[in-house]
Amino acid sequence: MFDGCLLTSEFFRMSVFPPCVCPPRRPTFIMAIWLVTIAITVPGITLTAAMAGETGQASSSPILNQQTLFRSGNDSYHTYRIPALLVTQKGTILAFIEARKNSRSDHGDIDLMLRRSFDGGRSWSPSQIIADDGEHTMGNPCPVLDRITGTIWLPFCRDNQQMLVIKSEDDGQTWSGPLDITSTTTRPEWFWFGAGPGHGIQMENGRLVIPAWGDGVKKLGKVQFSYTFYSDNHGSTWQVNTPLDLDTSDECEVVQLVDGRLYMNARSRQQKHQRAYSFSTNGGRSWSPVQFDERLPEPSCQGGLIRFTKQPQFQRNRILLSTPANPSGRERLTIRLSYDECQNWPVSKILYAASSAYSDLAITTDHHILTVYEADNSSRIVLARFNLEWLTNGQDHLRSNPGS
C-alpha cells in the first residue's frame, strides 16, 4: 500500500513503458458555470402509463440536491473530466476524476484523483491523487466492486497504450501499486484503447466485467469499437473478450439483465446520433450485432448505466441511463428509467439543460440515485443526488417485498 494514496512518477518509472504516440482520445468540448441546489419538481419529464408506481408504498417528497465536486483551477489543475462513481460495501461513495494539469487536452500531464463521501454524498473529503506519472496520461477510470471480497478494483490507462489496475481493500483510503494487465486485456494489433470510462459490474456468478473501447488500426482515433474484459478469480487475472462490430460504437457501459444476459449501451459512431446497444448471452465473451435505438438520441457521448432495483427484493425491476439527449450538441443531460430490462425507457427527465457531457451513476445504501457529470464547458464536475419521486414526478415509489 502507498501511504497517502499517491502513486508517484518515481514508482511508475520502476517499470519499462513503451514510447507513446498520442492521437486524440476523444473530442474536447467546452461547457459555462452553473450551480444550483433544489428540492422541487422541474420541467423536462416524459411519463407514460407503463411506469405506474408500486401500490401500498407511502410517497416520499421529491428530492434533488446538486453540488460541485471539482472545479477548473482548483488544486492547480486546469480542467477536470471523465468522472466515475462507486459505492462500497460500507456505503462509502467514491468519486474518481481525471485531473488535467495544464489544459483541457485528452493527453499530457493527467492524474487520477479521488474524493470520498461517508454520508450518502452530502459532504466530501478533500481530493487525493491516486495515480500520477509525471507528464504521462493516467486516464479512463473504471472502478468495480467485488461484493464477495470487498476489494475495489480500478482499471485505467497510461497514455491509452497500457492498461493498468490498482486496488483498495480499505474503502479507497489507500491503494496498491499498479499492475500492468495490457497483455491479457487487449490484443497486440490494437493501436489505442481505454477502460470504460464509468464503472464495471459484478455478475451474479461473481465475474467482474469491465466495459472498454479500442482502436484496431492506426488511424488516429477514427476507427474504434466497444469491448469488455473480465476476471473470474476476484481480480487475480483478467481476460479480453471478443470486440463488437468495428466502427459502430466505442465508450460503453454494461448491466446484467434478470435473464442473465449482459446489455451494453454505448456511444455511437459515424454520425448516427442514436445510442448503440448489444447483448451477450455468455458473460461478455461475444456480443450480438450492434443496433441503434432511435428513442435514445445523443450527440455521440459517453453515458452512465446502472441497475436501480431488482425483483424479488423490490416489486419492480428498474435500470437507469444518463446521457446528453440533444443530437446536435452535448447538452440536456437526461436521466431515463426502464422497467422492462432496457426494452423501453418510459421515463425521461432532464437533469441539466445546459452544456453537459460525460456522466456516471451510482445508488446509495438508502436508495438515492447519484449522477456525477461534466457541466458548463468542462469548468466543473457536478454531483446530483435525487430520489425516484423526483425522477418520476411523484408517480413511482420504492416498495420492497416482505421477507426479501
**Is the per-residue pLDDT at 32 higher than 80?**
no
Q: What is the pLDDT of residue 68?
A: 98
**Is the per-residue pLDDT at 307 higher than 70?**
yes
Whole-number Å distance between alpha carbons of 366 and 364: 5
| Better-scored residue on pLDDT, 72 or 189 | 72
Query: How far is C-alpha 123 from the chain's CA centre?
Result: 21
Whole-number Å distance between alpha carbons of 165 and 143: 9
For residue 108, give every residue at least 6 positions away whose Cβ sits within 8 Å of its Cβ, in sequence order, or none. 100, 101, 102, 135, 137
Q: What is the pLDDT of residue 26?
A: 44
**Is the per-residue pLDDT at 37 higher than 50?**
no
**Of the ranges 18-27, 28-37, 324-333, 340-349, which one carries the lowest mean pLDDT score?**
28-37
Q: What is the pLDDT of residue 309?
A: 98
Q: Please report, for the chain, the start and end positions of each structural domain, with discontinuous segments joined by +.
A: 3-391
Q: Scanning the structure block, which residue is given the C-alpha cell 454531483? A: 383
Confidence of residue 4 (pLDDT cuts 50, 70, 90): very low
**Of the ranges 182-196, 207-221, 242-256, 360-374, which one carries the lowest mean pLDDT score?**
207-221
For residue 34, give every residue at least 6 positions away whose Cβ sits within 8 Å of its Cβ, in sequence order, or none. 352, 354, 375, 376
Confidence of residue 402 (pLDDT cuts 50, 70, 90): confident
Which overall architecture, per CATH, does domain 3-391 show? 6 Propeller (2.120)
pLDDT digit string, tens, across residues 195-246: 999 999 999 999 999 999 999 776 656 679 999 999 999 999 999 999 999 8
The pTM score is: 0.87
Q: What is the pLDDT of residue 219?
A: 63
Q: What is the pLDDT of residue 36?
A: 34
Per-residue pLDDT averaged across 344-373, rounded?
98
Whole-number Å distance between alpha carbons of 354 and 105: 22
Confidence of residue 34 (pLDDT cuts 50, 70, 90): very low
Say if CB 357 and CB 303 are below 8 A apart.
Answer: no
